[in-house]
Amino acid sequence: MIKRQREFLDYLNNIENIIADANLENSKIEELKKEITETELLVPVVGAFSAGKSSIINSFLKDDILPVGITPETALATELRASQSNYIEAVKQDDISDKYKITQMEEIKNKAKNYNYLRLFLNNENLKKIEPLIIVDMPGFDSPLELHNQAILNYLNRGVFFIVVTSVEDGCLQRSIIRELHNIVEFGKGFCFCLSKINLRAASEVEEVKKRIEEQLKDEFDFNVNIELLDDSAGENLNKLLSRIDVDKLFEKIFIDNLKSLYFQIESNINVKIATLSNSKEDAHNAISELKERLNKIIKKKEEIITDVENRYSNVVVEHIITSVVNEIIANQENLLQLAIHNPDAFSRELNEIIKNRLIVEIKDKLDEISDDILKEFHLELSDLSSNLSNFSLDAEWRKKLIDSTKIIIKSIQNGLGKLSETLSGKGGRIYKVVATILGLTTNILNPILEITLIFLPDFISPFISKYNETKQKHVLMQKLQSEIIPSLKVKLRSELPKIFNEQLNKLITSIGEQFEEELRTKGQEIKKSIEEKESTISNIDDEISKLIKIRDMVQNLTTETLYQ
């Protein structure tokens, strides 16, 4: 167990002990403890097959195991996990897995389409040394589109840090890598960059390629990234690189905001108990009544937004996304036409990458915007709370913290920072399920669209155009692109996108609403419970208030020390 993981578990155990005498609801503490204990740090290794990713990982393992069954045609993302014995779990769409022996790689290869990814368990010292990091050997960017899309979209969500590998033989960053780097950055994930096979080129040429890539990274991302050089001792290089990854910082990034959100809830509940003891029974019952009234307003607002979701959001958003995808294709049409003439397979891949990456960016951005809009609407329903509720610490500061806490949770999970499915929602983790499926939503839209490109490709790049010169070929192909493929893509997007997008919006609205509903219900229950305690078990109210203030101060001090260092 790493340092930050242990500190967070100690923090939660100490918080649990401190608040034990306050009789507060604390089920989320146990849920967070479970998540912190079980969380893994997945490190995908991405790049083209030509970059030698599998060879680099094999060198690290000191065992030539990956090339045995992993080929471009059947490539599956493969998680390498330390174990006492060697075996493979092939994981299906529904998370059910089949177990295989290491010697059954060929059988897995023949069934590759039945599985989402592999978990390769090895009794390997180097894998044990890097725990809790788990290396993921990703399909190359030049693997079949369906396999590549499935893998990269899955691990953009699940991965916490990426190792990007380019061969020195490529000479610079290829478009495919630049696009994937944009996605990694978009989802707030860290990465390091490696230049492989440097032993195949002169030192001067390696330095030239390194500088060229550094300039590209600076231009594209405004990053000054240190490029790691991998030679024929790539396994040792990778080992050193992995040892420099700050696992405590990665772990903190996953949990820090959710721990702060938990602190807000605990502090708020303690304040409500103190206020209930300080106020009259009549004021407390009035507060409960107003909380019920506000709860009904939140529920009504939620239902109102869901009922009108198409007019409010979906129709406009869908058309915006379609326009953005089409504009991106048109902006890249010169390169697409060149590929169509000289490399038809690359044309299909390039079109896929353009559509996929535009969809990822647009869907994520639009759900971000809609989330903020919905939060503002729910906030308005709480904006005119009575002065009586202020006496129970349910004031403007509490509302702001509730908004901030909900926003942090959504953003954290949207970027795939941890599982936290049960922790973040008492109703089966709906927040996690909606925001983490942004990438799944993209896949559901993308796969049918790719079928279009495959259908049109033979006619689009038909032999008859070969009799023309290149200028005429481009003209003919551009007409086909604009009059056949783009209109067909629009039709498919308009057919597929609204239903899926509406479904996800409904879940998102429901999830945010439930966060507010849960907070209001909890506050009402705390007030009711405090009234009962005040009447039946508390003999000296002043002593009880003093005890709660002391507990609150202890929680605050421990939180400051652990979470705000």
Q: Which of 159-173, 211-225, 348-362 has the lowest mean pLDDT?
A: 348-362
Whether residues 396 and 523 fall in one domain: yes
Tell me the percentage of the chain whose pLDDT exceeds 90.
38
* φ, ψ dihedrals at 114, nearest 5°: -85, -10
- Model confidence at 459, pLDDT cuts 50, 70, 90, reads low
* Cβ 24 vs Cβ 141: under 8 Å: no
- Predicted confidence at residue 41, as pLDDT, reads 93
Handedness of CA 70, 76, 77, 83 (dihedral sign): negative
Whether residues 346 and 394 fall in one domain: yes
- Predicted confidence at residue 431, as pLDDT, reads 38
User: Is it true that the peptide bond before 487 is cis, omega within 30 degrees of 0?
Assistant: no
- Residues 300-321 have pLDDT tens digits of 999 999 998 888 888 888 899 9
Say how far apart CA 72 and CA 49 lie, in whole Å: 8
Mean pLDDT of 38-44: 91
- Residues 206-233 have pLDDT tens digits of 999 999 999 999 988 887 778 889 887 8
Say how far apart CA 329 and CA 331 lie, in whole Å: 5
Buried b (16+ CB within 10 A) or exposed e, 507-522: bbbbbbbbbbbebbeb
- Model confidence at 419, pLDDT cuts 50, 70, 90, reads very low
* Cβ 41 vs Cβ 251: under 8 Å: yes
Query: Among 245, 280, 303, which residue terminates a domain?
Result: 245
Cα 331 to the center of its chain, rounded Å: 28
Residue of 553, 529, 534 whose CA lies nearest to 544: 534
Question: What are 77's strand-pairing partners?
Answer: 117
Whether residues 69 and 81 fall in one domain: yes
Whether residues 45 and 157 fall in one domain: yes
Residue 193 maps to a domain: yes
Residue of 151, 79, 69 whose CA lies nearest to 102: 69
Whether residues 7 and 111 fall in one domain: no
Residue 407 maps to a domain: yes
Q: What would you measure as the largest C-alpha separation in the chain, in angstroms?
A: 99
Average pLDDT, whole number, for the chain?
Answer: 83
Residue 262 maps to a domain: yes
Which residues make Cβ contacts (< 8 Å) with residue 224, sequence separation at least 6? 214, 217, 218
Mean pLDDT of 522-549: 91
Quote the crossing angle between the two packed helices 486-536 and 315-331, to the nearest 10°. Answer: 140
Say how far apart CA 205 and CA 442 lie, in whole Å: 40
Residue 19 maps to a domain: yes
- Predicted confidence at residue 19, as pLDDT, reads 94
Over 60: is that where the pLDDT of 474 sits? Answer: yes
* Cβ 169 vs Cβ 284: under 8 Å: no
Whether residues 459 and 322 fall in one domain: yes
Which residues make Cβ contacts (< 8 Å) with residue 130, sequence separation at least 6? 239, 242, 243
Query: Among 245, 270, 296, which residue terminates a domain?
Result: 245
Whether residues 349 and 447 fall in one domain: yes
- Residues 318-327 have pLDDT tens digits of 899 999 999 9
Count the domains in the chain: 2
Q: Which of 63-67, 257-261, 336-340, 517-521 has the lowest mean pLDDT?
A: 63-67
Over 60: is that where the pLDDT of 456 sits? Answer: no
Task: Name the pTM for this structure.
Answer: 0.83
Whether residues 9 and 102 fall in one domain: no
Whether residues 203 and 301 fall in one domain: no
**Would you tell me how many other CB atoms lie within 10 Å of the CB of residue 495?**
11
Say how far apart CA 212 and CA 440 lie, in whole Å: 35
- Predicted confidence at residue 418, as pLDDT, reads 39
- Model confidence at 416, pLDDT cuts 50, 70, 90, reads low
137: three-class secondary structure by DSSP: strand
Whether residues 111 and 259 fall in one domain: no
Residue 524 maps to a domain: yes
Whether residues 84 and 114 fall in one domain: yes
- CA distance between the termini of the chain: 20
Look-up: residue for tokens 């996605």? 183
Over 90: is that where the pLDDT of 549 sits? Answer: yes
Across 303-307, 527-531, 552-556, the highest mean pLDDT is recorded for 552-556
Over 60: is that where the pLDDT of 201 sits? Answer: yes
* Cβ 89 vs Cβ 119: under 8 Å: yes
Amino acid at 54: S
- Predicted confidence at residue 420, as pLDDT, reads 33
User: DSSP of 431-443, one letter per residue?
Assistant: HHHHHTTHHHHHH
- Model confidence at 432, pLDDT cuts 50, 70, 90, reads very low
Residue 7 maps to a domain: yes
Over 80: is that where the pLDDT of 443 sits? Answer: no
- Both tokens assigned to 494: 């308009």
Instruction: Calculate ∠ Cα 559-562-565, nearest 5°.
Output: 110
Across 330-334, 380-384, 414-418, 507-511, the highest mean pLDDT is recorded for 330-334
Mean pLDDT of 277-287: 93
Query: Among 195, 224, 245, which residue terminates a domain?
Result: 245
Handedness of CA 149, 80, 190, 401 (dihedral sign): positive
- Predicted confidence at residue 544, as pLDDT, reads 92
Residue 67 maps to a domain: yes
Structural domain including 458 reads: 3-37+255-563
* Cβ 430 vs Cβ 422: under 8 Å: no
Mean pLDDT of 374-398: 88
CATH number, domain with residue 69: 3.40.50.300
Residue 250 maps to a domain: no
Whether residues 141 and 216 fall in one domain: yes
- Both tokens assigned to 287: 């507060």
